Amino acid sequence: MKPTKEELHKTINSLKERIAVLEEQVKNEPENVLKDGLQIEFLSQMSHELRTPVNIMLNAVDMLKEDYIKNPDDYAKEILNILNSAGRRIHRTIDLFANLVQLNTGRYSSDGSYFNLYRDLKDNLFTQMKADAREKDIGFYWTEEGKNHLIETDAYAATQIFMQIVDNAIKFTNIGKVEVLVKNDDGKHSFVVEDTGIGIKEEFIPHVFDAFVQEDTGYSRRFEGNGLGLTIAKQFADRINAKIKVESEKGVGSKFTVTF
């Protein structure tokens, strides 16, 4: 069943209310919520990253008002895809900020459990990540090396590390592919995410985990995002004693290896 205009407006207004609540919570946090004086930058980035897609959604709904009934097929599908993409960006951003606040205020508590690094990640994430890659017309491949990928770790933290690294790889790859390899090398468990994306300059590699940082900065930068994904991945990795190794060559691609 296709959503009505009223249902679309209700969904968007709900998102706007959620954003306002989050902004108010962040403003009321103590001064030490974010380290190294990042509070103003945090609020600035959050406002931009959350409000821009909401405006896109509102504009799309305005277009639907006139043409939704007359063109219920191709046009409506295109507009709804825009809404879906913008909505998912909002939710990703909200989740990133919520994780950042939890981690930096000591509110996050690790919860160890048995977790299959290959099967559980693939069952939960493969379909959506494959769809994200397909939207950019790039390949997405997921393989395993060795057997018995069961580890004891914080499943939420491990999933967040994986999601942020793969999302980053897809975002910065416009031609070629992103490959995921889950390995068990004599009990040494790891996953490798390798892409044929834009790559990273050698001198910038030490800064890839810094908050609010992209190598391509400023209003003219080519890639959307708030520069928090890899920051979150690194902080979760530190919490569960996982190690992240970065290898990259500008214009060739990047390779992230996470070892548990």
The domain segmentation of the chain, as residue ranges, is 5-104, 112-259
For 112-259, CATH gives 3.30.565.10
Which pLDDT does position 156 carry in this prediction?
92
Question: Using one digit for the tens of pLDDT, what is the confidence trace for 124-148?
Answer: 999 989 988 998 999 999 999 998 9
Angle, helices 74-104 vs 5-27, to 10°: value is 20
74, with CB counted inside 10 A (0-12, 13-18, 19+), is exposed
Residues of the chain with pLDDT under 50: 30-34, 36-37, 217-223
Which pLDDT does position 218 carry in this prediction?
41
Question: Using one digit for the tens of pLDDT, what is the confidence trace for 40-81?
Answer: 556 556 666 666 666 676 666 666 666 655 666 666 666 666
For 166, the token pair is 């793969």
Which pLDDT does position 112 carry in this prediction?
80
| Residue with tokens 């790039």, as numbered in its chain | 138
Q: Quick check: helix, strand or coil at residue 73?
A: coil
Which pLDDT does position 213 carry in this prediction?
66
Which pLDDT does position 110 carry in this prediction?
76
Which pLDDT does position 31 carry in this prediction?
47
Q: How far apart are the first and last CA of the chain?
A: 44
CA-closest candidate to residue 248, choices 197, 200, 193: 200
pTM score, whole prediction = 0.69
Which pLDDT does position 163 carry in this prediction?
94
Which pLDDT does position 99 carry in this prediction?
73
Which pLDDT does position 154 carry in this prediction?
93
